Amino acid sequence: MRKIEWKIATLVEDCMSGKHTKSFDRVLSRDRWGHVRDQVTYDAGSKTAKVFLFGSCIFTVAQATRLFDGAVSGLAQIDDCDCRTATTKSRLNAMLKAFHPDNTSLFQRDYTWHISRISVIDGEVTSELATFKGSFTFTTVKFNAKSYGHPDDMRLAI
């Protein structure tokens, strides 16, 4: 996960966990011409966070309920906004890694985007593969962006 993606995921997780109580609109990065690249907005009234890439909403998550153990359940959606670039795919994969309960990722083969999901249920590994149609909605059971650690803390094991 890139540093900017870690910042985005951490900010969204903080919003959903209740750390932010006021609405905001935060610009996290700009391109070399000064245009907004990465932006996160949060609406405290509806408890909804949105991630924008170059002005297009690529990720939305709404808090549904707080679970008994302090975890937060919510409904999330990724969307490529008809902009299938490596940057879009990287941001979407970072959001899936941080907020999807299973091991889910986007990848490209023969100019077509696919979404793959690997899950373990009762010790049995299942795998699903489908063509990505532009958007994907899922329920997130626990926000876990911080569990991956800060990118500067990641070390290669040799």
pLDDT, tens digit (0-9, with 9 covering 90-100), for 118-137: 877 777 888 888 999 999 99
> How confident is residue 154, by pLDDT bands cut at 50, 70 and 90?
very low
pTM comes to 0.82
Q: Please name the residue that has the structure tokens 């870690």.
A: 6
Mean pLDDT of the chain: 84
Cα 65 to Cα 145: distance, rounded to the nearest angstrom: 18
140 residue type, one letter: T
> What is the rounded average pLDDT of the residues 70-82?
84
> What is the rounded average pLDDT of the residues 94-114?
90
Report strand pairing: 24-30 vs 36-43: antiparallel
> What is the rounded average pLDDT of the residues 35-64?
93
The yes-or-no verdict on residue 79 having pLDDT over 70 is: yes
Q: Can you give the residue ranges of every domain in the chain? A: 3-144
Cα 107 to Cα 77: distance, rounded to the nearest angstrom: 17
